[in-house]
Structure 1
Amino acid sequence: MRVAIAADHRGTDVARQIQGWLEQQGHAFIAITGDCGVGENATCDYPDKAYPVATAVGEGDADRGILVCGSGIGMSIAANKVKGVRAALVCDEVGAELSRRHNDANVLCLAADLMSPRQLERVLEVWLYTEFEGGRHARRVRKISAIEAGRSPADVTDGEVEFAAAE
C-alpha cells in the first residue's frame, strides 16, 4: 500500500514514528515535507500539510493518507475539503475500525498530543488492515460523494450505488 503522510510542527515526531512503522510493515510512503522552521518557536500551518496528502489520495497517487497535528482536528477539517477524501479523526482502535469498515475513510488524522506510542501503533494497524464492508455502507458513502458534488444525498438511489460499485 502506498501511503502519503504529513505533519505540522506538533506532529513531526509522531509522523517519523509512523514512517518507521510503515517501513517495518513493508508499505511505501510518500513523505510530504516542508520547512516548519527551527527551534522551540518553529511552526507551520496544518492546511499547507493536509492539502498535498489529501490531493495525492483524491487523485489516486496514494492509496491512503495519514495526517498528524496536535489535536488532529485541523488536519481533518482541511483534508475533507478535497474532493474524493474521507478523512477521519481517530483516537482509538474502535474508531479506526469503524472509519474503515463503515465509512471507507481514506485519510487518517491523528492527535500527536493525545496518543501514546502503543495506541498509535494499534490504531495504525487496525486502520490500514480493515477493509470497507460495503453493503448499506456503500450507499451512505455514495451519499457523501453526492454532497461533495453539490447534490442532495436524498437523490442518491440504490441503482447509483450498484453502478458506483461496478466502476
Structure 2
Amino acid sequence: MQTIVIACDPNAQDIKKQLITYLEAKGYTVTDYGSEDPIYANTAVHLAAAVARLEFDRGILLCGTGIGMSIAANKIKGAYAALITDAYSAERSRKSNNANIACFGAFTLGIRNIEKLLDIYLSSEFEYGGASQPKVDKIRAYELAQS
C-alpha cells in the first residue's frame, strides 16, 4: 500500500481531517504535515520536498482552490503537482504526467468529490514507455538543466 503525506492551509483543515480518516480506512499509511501555516507556500514546499526525496509515494495538498498549493509545490525539483478538478484530470495526472502530488480545492470541490477524484488518482499509474514518456522526460530534462 502506498504511503501518503497530506497537508493544507487553514481553509481546508476539516476536509484534510476527513480525508485522513477516509484514506486510513482504505489501508493507506497517511502522514499529516499540518495545516496551521496561513502562508500556504510554506506548507506546499515542505510537503513537496519530502515527496521529491521519495520519503512518501504520493502527496496531497489542499487549499481553497488548490491553485496556490500546486504553483508552490511545483517550485521543488522532483515534485510534480497537478491541480485535479475532474475524473479525467485525476486519471491523466498520473497516466500521462506522472504527477506525484495531487492538489484539490476545498472550496471548489467538497469532500465527496475529492474522495472520488482521490480514488482515481491513487489507483492510476504512469504508463512507462507510452506516448507521454518523451513529454515527461523533457520536463525532467528542463528541470535538470536549471539545477
The TM-score by the shorter chain falls in which range?
over 0.9
Counterparts in 2 of 1:106-117, with a 5 A limit?
Answer: 106-117=100-111
- Whole-Å separation in 2 of the counterparts to 1:14 and 1:142: 34
Residues in 1 aligned to 2:105 and 2:93: alpha-carbon distance in whole angstroms: 16
Q: CA 1:96–1:34 in structure 2 vs 1: closer, same or farther (change >3 Å)?
A: closer
User: In the alignment, residue 5 of structure 1 is paired with which amino acid?
Assistant: I
Match of 1:104, SS state, is coil
The aligned residue for residue 29 of structure 1 is 30
**Structure 1 runs, 4 residues or longer, greater than 6 Å off:** none
**Post-superposition offset of 1:34:** 5.4
1:111 counterpart letter in structure 2: G
Q: How does 1:128-147 map to 2 (within 5 A)?
A: 128-134=122-128, 135-147=130-142
* Match status 1:10 vs 2:11: yes
Root mean square deviation, CA, Å: 1.2
Contact kept, 8 Å, 2:7 with 2:44, in 1: the verdict is yes
Is contact 2:94-2:126 (8 Å) kept? Answer: yes
Structure exhibiting the larger radius of gyration computed from Cα positions = 1
Residue correspondence of structure 1 range 6-155 to structure 2 within 5 A: 6-33=7-34, 35-36=36-37, 44-134=38-128, 135-150=130-145
Which letter maps to 2:33? I
Q: Normalized against structure 1, the TM-score is what?
A: 0.82
Q: Which has the higher contact order (CA 8 A, sep 6+)?
A: 2
* Distance across 1 between alignment mates of 2:124 and 2:140: 21
- CA-to-aligned-CA distance 1:116-155 (integer Å, 9 cap, x gap): 322111101000001111212121111110111126xxxx
Q: Partner of 1:10: helix, strand, or coil?
A: helix
TM-score (norm 2): 0.93
Report the CA distance shift for 1:78/1:56 in structure 2 as closer, same or farther (over 3 A).
Answer: same
Q: Unaligned stretches of 5+ in structure 1?
A: 37-43, 152-167
Find the residue that maps to 2:75 and give its secondary structure. coil
Identity within the alignment, %: 40
Report which stretch shifted further, 112-121 or 77-86. Answer: 112-121
Structure 2: 5+ residue stretches without partners: none
